[in-house]
């Protein structure tokens, strides 16, 4: 999902030999596989420590590919301000996402996140179709959270904050792209580097507990690569050859992917009620009409 707001790169060679939906399938698996593995590390490193290591490991991977210092130096003052806001949103979004995962099933967190994306489409394209999509998705989310209003309000707070920040991430990403500030991959690489610095005060004290253990450190870096590198690159490879409407339709599979991965990796088995709520969210994502390519 993070890749939605970025410019599409050119693809060549072996990338063009693989069908676009196959690239999206790889992205869909890793998009929630990384966070699922992150949950397993919370007891050993700490929630915010894992979040900081995710951001930092992704930033380190992108450094040789994007040279973030060049993107920052070549940007004008307006572009640089947007880039810093983009990075701050990214840092806060990752932290709130993991704080939500620490308390709630991954399928619920994913469902709440997608309600916001449909809201963005409704704001940009005020149509009856998008309104219906939003109503259906919100209904599904309400079914999912109904039994948790009283049991874990803190978890719901972090989940809704993550959803709101993801909306901000999309909006800021579009505005940054509209200024002509480099390309999507370069912008993300620079934002990851800045986000790593911004999240340092809240995450480093927990992350440092992983440093004496090569196994824990490797696992945390693996989470970052699975969560923020592989899905983004695969999304770009899919987006470069798919219409935006087709890509948006494929996004409807992600709540289902989150549910399956949550069941397999975290033993979070959904009830029939949960499955119904997830199905409504998927339906809402599937029928909504995405913003045109040129829209912010």
In a domain, 18, yes or no: no
In this prediction, residue 93 has a pLDDT band, given cuts at 50, 70 and 90, of: very high
In a domain, 8, yes or no: no
Cα(80)–Cα(234) distance, integer angstroms: 27
Please say if the pLDDT value at position 140 is more than 60.
yes
In this prediction, residue 188 has a pLDDT band, given cuts at 50, 70 and 90, of: confident
pTM above 0.85, yes or no: no
Structural domains in the chain (count): 1
- Number of Cβ within 10 Å of residue 81's Cβ equals 12
Q: Which domain holds residue 213?
A: 32-287
In a domain, 277, yes or no: yes
Average pLDDT for the chain: 81
Please state, in angstroms and as integers, the Cα–Cα distance from residue 212 to each residue in 1, 45, 53, 57, 208, following that order: 33, 11, 14, 17, 8
For residues 197-204, average pLDDT: 94
In a domain, 104, yes or no: yes
In a domain, 275, yes or no: yes
Instruction: Please give the pLDDT value at position 1.
Output: 45
Instruction: Please give the pLDDT value at position 6.
Output: 45
Per-residue pLDDT of 61-86, as tens digits, reads: 988 888 888 888 888 888 889 899 99
In a domain, 245, yes or no: yes
In a domain, 37, yes or no: yes
In a domain, 211, yes or no: yes
């Amino acid at each position: 999902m993070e890749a939605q707001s970025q410019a599409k790169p050119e693809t060549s060679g072996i990338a063009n030999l693989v069908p676009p939906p196959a690239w999206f399938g790889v992205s869909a698996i890793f998009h929630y596989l990384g966070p699922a593995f992150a949950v397993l590390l919370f007891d050993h490193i700490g929630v915010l420590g894992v979040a900081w290591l995710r951001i930092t490991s992704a930033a380190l991977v992108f450094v040789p590919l994007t040279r973030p210092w060049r993107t920052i130096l070549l940007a004008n003052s307006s572009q640089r301000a947007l880039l810093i806001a983009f990075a701050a949103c990214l840092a806060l979004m990752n932290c709130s996402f993991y704080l939500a995962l620490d308390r709630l099933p991954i399928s619920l967190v994913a469902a709440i996140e997608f309600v916001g994306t449909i809201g963005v489409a409704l704001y940009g394209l005020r149509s009856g179709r998008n309104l219906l999509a939003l109503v259906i998705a919100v209904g599904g989310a309400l079914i999912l959270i109904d039994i948790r209003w009283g049991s874990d309000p803190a978890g719901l707070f972090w989940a809704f904050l993550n959803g709101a920040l993801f909306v901000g991430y999309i909006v800021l990403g579009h505005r940054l792209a509209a200024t002509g500030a480099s390309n999507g991959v370069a912008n993300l690489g620079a934002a990851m580097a800045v986000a790593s610095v911004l999240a340092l005060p809240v995450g480093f004290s927990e992350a440092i507990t992983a440093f004496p253990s090569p196994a824990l450190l490797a696992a945390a870096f693996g989470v970052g690569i699975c969560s923020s590198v592989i899905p983004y690159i695969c999304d770009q490879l899919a987006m470069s050859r798919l219409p935006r409407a087709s890509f948006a339709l494929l996004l409807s599979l992600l709540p289902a992917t989150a549910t399956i991965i949550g069941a397999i990796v975290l033993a979070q088995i959904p009830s029939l009620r949960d499955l119904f709520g997830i199905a409504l969210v998927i339906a809402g994502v599937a029928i909504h009409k995405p913003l045109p390519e040129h829209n912010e």
